[in-house]
Amino acid sequence: MNVNIAQDLLMLVSEALASPQDDPTVALAVRQTLDAFAAEHPGRSVEVRVPPYRVVQVIGGSTHRRGTPPAVVEMSPMVWLELFSGNTDWQSLLESGQIFASGVGSDLSEFFGSENR
């Protein structure tokens, strides 16, 4: 990811995390970070859902075309932003039940582990 884009995204995420009641800022931050994540990890084998703002398909492998995808990951907007910013890691959020992940390939820890911060 371009350094300037990454810095801009992290600034937007910081704004959203600082004022979670600001729905337009949170929505923009979620949409832009999910789009950036999808661009960096293209594919259609895992569907990442952050309702009500965005759903993206990511990671190469099996291709999902219709119906329920083979792997689904879902979380709240604030959890996604905390994860994307590196303020927390995948495993902690999964163990605390803040991330729902099912199906083969739904483990995204390699992208959001504590070693990636």
User: 6: which residues sit within 8 A by CB, 6+ positions away?
Assistant: 36
The answer to whether the beta carbons of residues 35 and 63 sit under 8 Å apart is no
CA distance 1 to 24: 24
CA distance 80 to 3: 20
pLDDT of residue 94 exceeding 90, the answer is: yes
CA distance 100 to 77: 13
Adjacent-strand bridge partners of 100: 74
CA proximity to 108, closest of 66, 49, 67, 28: 49
Task: Give the residue, 2 or 21, on which the prediction is more confident.
Answer: 21
Q: CB 102: neighbour CB atoms within 10 A?
A: 12
Adjacent-strand bridge partners of 46: 58
The DSSP element (H or E) to which 102 belongs, if any, is strand 99-102
Q: Given this model, what pLDDT does residue 70 score? A: 83
User: What are the structural domains, with CATH classification, of the chain?
Assistant: 3-116 (3.30.1050.40)
pLDDT of residue 116 exceeding 50, the answer is: no
pLDDT digits (tens, 9 = 90+) for 15-59: 999 999 999 999 999 999 999 999 999 998 899 999 999 999 999
pLDDT of residue 2 exceeding 60, the answer is: no
* Mean pLDDT of the region 70-79: 95
The DSSP element (H or E) to which 72 belongs, if any, is strand 72-75
* Whole-number average pLDDT of the chain: 89
